[in-house]
Amino acid sequence: MNVPLLDLKAQFRDIRKEVMAAVEAVCEDQGFILGPRVVELEQAIAKYVGCSHAIGCASGSDALLLSLMAAGVRPGDEVITVPFTFFATVSSITRLGAKPVFVDIRPDLFNLDPTRIEKMVTPRTKAIIPVHLFGQCAEMEAINEIAHRKKIPVIEDAAQAIGASRRGVKAGVLGDTGCFSFFPSKNLGGFGDGGLVTTNDRTLNDALAMLRVHGSRTRYVHEQVGINSRLDALQAAVLTVKLKHLDRWTEGRRRNAVTYERLFADAKLLDGVTLPKTEMGNFHVFNQFTIRAQKRDELKVFLKEKNVGTEIYYPIPMHLQNCFKELGYQKGSFPVSERAAEQALSLPIYAELTDEQLTYVVDSIKTFYRSH
């Protein structure tokens, strides 16, 4: 038995005809940058998420960068976010010369702890970036309450959370802007890099549309120094086809999560392993099924020998990254994030997995803990 962490070939086999027809149509047109197919995807995603505007761009990293630029974040400003996230959440801040101000995560979830935000707000705080890590929304009403009171924009890092919702509202409309990634391993993945920003604010939408094309509204007239960050028509065509399947794939991921819960309970493995918790009111889309495991590193090696693919998202919290050392944090600064980095292990969860494969994963983990 072989259970990779992700098998995109299995997904492609299912949709090959549709996708290839869409790719061929773009090749016939030879129109590659932005254009009607990008507009079609933007409208489809806006409808899917439930917002009025969507702006395609080159990556999820750029979606964050563009959102911060549109929010007017400048050198010396502060932006509150979590240390337990993917690098791009934080680099989007430092790239603008602004300073990331970290707030630890909740011990029982992997998301920002809203009770820790307020004391970190200063007059320089220009944005808050909650991350909907692994496909589950952060506690947005608590975050928004502080943000509204202090008049600070909220930028959702929804890169892992397309289709996720909280109390019936989808990720991407829970803040001022929502940042999505179409990196191939995300729940809606392109055939390369891609990203998108959602918003209900027309002024922000206009700013984003300008910033992604070098800060220009009329060609060769530049109002601001923007960046080159456009979504291309090939990605848009592929993604428009794949979006139609997204809810089905999400259901597959959620079904697999339920199966894991049953298998782990049956295997009486809940001592060595803590399963991911879903908060009340959250619709979790399981971009990752991330457990906390004792002897995590040994378990990972063992599973690799059993042909079970796993990954550590994320082994080094951002406050301990070399490139951010001038921020002055050290080991112990954010103990909850540090513990998560030591314990987290993501298991295969993609929609096409069979029950036999899931059983094999849990059986292998059981074998490990019997002998360790």
Ligand X SMILES: *Cc1c(COP(=O)(O)O)cnc(C)c1O
Taking CB under 6 A as the binding criterion, the range among 18-26, 85-93, 202-210, 245-253 that sits at the site for ligand X is 85-93
Nearest alpha-carbon partner for 107 in 316, 299, 292: 292
Residue 304 identity? K
Min dist. Cβ of residue 134 to ligand X (A): 9
Interaction residues for ligand X, span 154-183 (CB under 6 A): 157, 159-160, 181, 183
The residue type at 149: R
Q: 79 - beta bridge partners?
A: 100, 127
- Name the residue among 125, 136, 175, 133 with its Cα closest to residue 155: 175
Write the DSSP symbol of residue 187: S
Instruction: Tell me if 79 contacts ligand X by CB under 6 A.
Output: no
Residue 61 in the binding site for ligand X (CB under 6 A): yes
Q: Which is nearer to ligand X, 160 or 346 (CB)?
A: 160
CA-closest candidate to residue 158, choices 209, 197, 185, 110: 197
**Of positions 195, 226, 252, 276, contacts ligand X by CB under 6 A:** 195
Which helix H or strand E contains 144, and what residues bound it? helix 140-150
Query: In a 3-state reduction of DSSP, which class is residue 223?
Result: coil
Taking the least distance from each CB to ligand X, the nearer of 159 and 164 is: 159
The nearer residue to ligand X, 302 or 313, going by C-beta atoms, is 313
Indicate which single residue of 7, 65, 79, 86 sits in contact with ligand X (rule: CB under 6 A).
86
Nearer to ligand X, 162 or 233 (CB): 162
Residue 55, classed as helix, strand or coil, is strand
Nearer to ligand X, 59 or 310 (CB): 59
CB of 74 to ligand X, least distance (A): 22
Say which residues have a Cβ less than 8 Å from residue 173's Cβ, sequence separation at least 6: 49, 50, 51, 198, 200
DSSP 232: B
Q: How far is the CB of 318 from ligand X (least distance, A)?
A: 11
- What three-state secondary structure class fits 228? strand
- Residue at shortest CB range from ligand X: 60
Per CB under 6 A, the list member of 81, 89, 111, 288 interacting with ligand X is 89
- Contact flag: residue 137 with ligand X (CB under 6 A): no
CB of 269 to ligand X, least distance (A): 27
56 binds ligand X per the rule CB under 6 A: no
Residue range at the interface with ligand X (CB under 6 A); choices 19-27, 86-94, 97-105, 290-298: 86-94
Does residue 100 interact with ligand X by CB under 6 A?
A: no
CA dist., res. 79 & res. 58, Å (int) = 23
DSSP β-ladder status, 344-347 and 289-293: antiparallel
What are the residues binding ligand X (CB under 6 A)? Answer: 59-61, 85-86, 88-89, 131, 157, 159-160, 181, 183, 193, 195
